[in-house]
């Protein structure tokens, strides 16, 4: 999926229904510190898992 998005440094990403955040973390590595990744999910528990993985 990330290949199809053709992300590059500085891009902004919105990951809806992110689950554990694995794709968000990969996107963050691609967009780098100049980019932004916003992650959301309906499950608060999944967001906590994603937050822990990001640290």
Q: What residues form the annotated binding site for S-adenosyl-L-methionine?
A: 41
Binding residues: 41
Distances in Å between the alpha carbon of 28 and those of 13, 18, 40? 8, 13, 14
Helix (H) or strand (E) holding 40: strand 36-40
């Amino acid at each position: 999926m990330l290949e199809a998005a053709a992300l590059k440094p500085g891009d902004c990403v919105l990951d809806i229904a992110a689950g554990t955040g694995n794709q968000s973390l990969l996107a963050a590595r691609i967009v780098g510190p100049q980019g932004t990744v916003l992650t959301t999910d309906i499950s608060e528990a999944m967001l906590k898992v994603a937050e822990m993985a990001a640290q």
